[in-house]
Structure 1
């Protein structure tokens, strides 16, 4: 290994050449299933906002790898998560992505085994029953569920530990001053990416590509135009003194308030934010492996993903707004979402380009540059998860 950066203390950046993960980790089916078992089936995964199951008997289904999950709100208003699998012979219980049950029960479409919304087996159509058969032993397979500030997380591990709301990255900032529980989904976009799930996370974790790939974003956040995420990514940051130049210090360009095409914020902004949070322009919160959040002064955007195959990932973005914004007749939704949607579409194109190139017979691993220290952290996190097996 060779040093490539003489970094002074408190500078972000790799000081040695570091390889990426092996290229076949992004398309090999055996590696993909290893990651499903050790990462996606053992960690807390974000599924949706609580409000999208807005009344008793509402349900939603989700796929995580080859696992199908059923969320149901019971008659008492509580959310329950189950494997979407009948205990009789394993048939899928609900095939629709969402809907409302016609009765206070879940009935298998194959042999009509019927379950309470809390998962207990209620009845079967069999005329005979073996003496040693017990209904209590044949309830639905429950999945650990946690709700945090309106976000629904599940953990497929039978022995899941308690949910920890803390972010998974030390560069994430607190989001306590945003009224997350009170926000509502005003817009969502779902995309199918032709890339491995890790490729998208790598793209999120660096900005070397920003200057040429995100001209609009690099204009709003000038430090991104330098390929840097923050001031301390620059090895000469101490020489900049108490600069207020956003191209050196970070934050939004002078005169901008939020991520939008003209930099202007919506009329209603979050009242409890500190001056530092307002000046920053964007506050990131990361929860591996499934989601990150970008909080602005006027809206919050959630990006979350689920692996559908070695080279296919489902990506969903949700824009959350306060009720005052959504109830305002003058609210211009397209204006509020077009900027971040553009940035996401640019990233999707890059990720799919990246995925195609990884199949080269000659490309065994890539090489990380100093500014890609967060990509290196991500790779170490992946390796540590797999070492638990």
Structure 2
């Protein structure tokens, strides 16, 4: 059934369809609409689920960690400083191998106080052991949230579904909301491999001495190494039922491109139009859209970008003292590839600024006319 939904409610509908059993949340703009809708579903009986109101985002994650440990399907959502407050508990969730799903609405970190779009909040959590999937539009949000539960429960790792503040979370779109029976066939009830039970008592999260700690972390990495293949397998099951599929990376007009632009989130939609426009003018330019950031699809990056002439990465984030985070990761993926192309990094769209077609065309022409990057990250559209 097609409905006009805002991006936040696309998440809520997916959580309803996934038949989540326990949710906890502390409201923070701009993710509040997600959990408001879910609390109403619990209140009016639309969902047979427990909604736990907590006093902070740290407590929200702690609550779903506890619930997931008991073997039920769990969900939460957050943004920005809320995610930062969760940081400690993110490690507890991943190291305990819990299949929690969380919607993370990208929002800038303060000060100065800013509630608008910026990817630094989620990317700052890149080393916590969570799978990270970035969404481009409302349909992508709904589908990715459903797939996240399947993926998390396959590999026993938590998944962060990431969407842009306001550009996506508060924008209404025409979205296909699947039938419950179809979702039930795709996403069966959770059959937990890790579970506290009075019938089979055990201890979870105990002291891990040096003789065992490294092996625990190695098991997380081994699970991460399965994620890309599992994600691709999920697409093969998802497409026949729902008519859509996604890839860890999407390459648009990259086969003969001399310059490939790389970005994630809603700016990729703008770039699609820019690529089409530039192509009509005879420019050999392509777009690589990042969907999966953790685990980072290094081999796919090398395959797609390794033989192009130049790469232009547009980051809506920044790691102070270095450069844009996506640009760092792209460089690291390519550094051991023979004759790899130069990677040009650009910083744009921080704190909710628009990444306009003119900005992306500027990025393209700057990259095309330069022989080599003169600095690690060029700041675009500064107020001088």
Q: TM-score, normalised by structure 2?
A: 0.24
Q: Which has the higher contact order (CA 8 A, sep 6+)?
A: 1
Q: Bigger radius of gyration, 1 or 2?
A: 1
Whose strand proportion is higher, 1 or 2?
1
Q: TM-score, normalised by structure 1?
A: 0.24
Whose helix proportion is higher, 1 or 2?
2
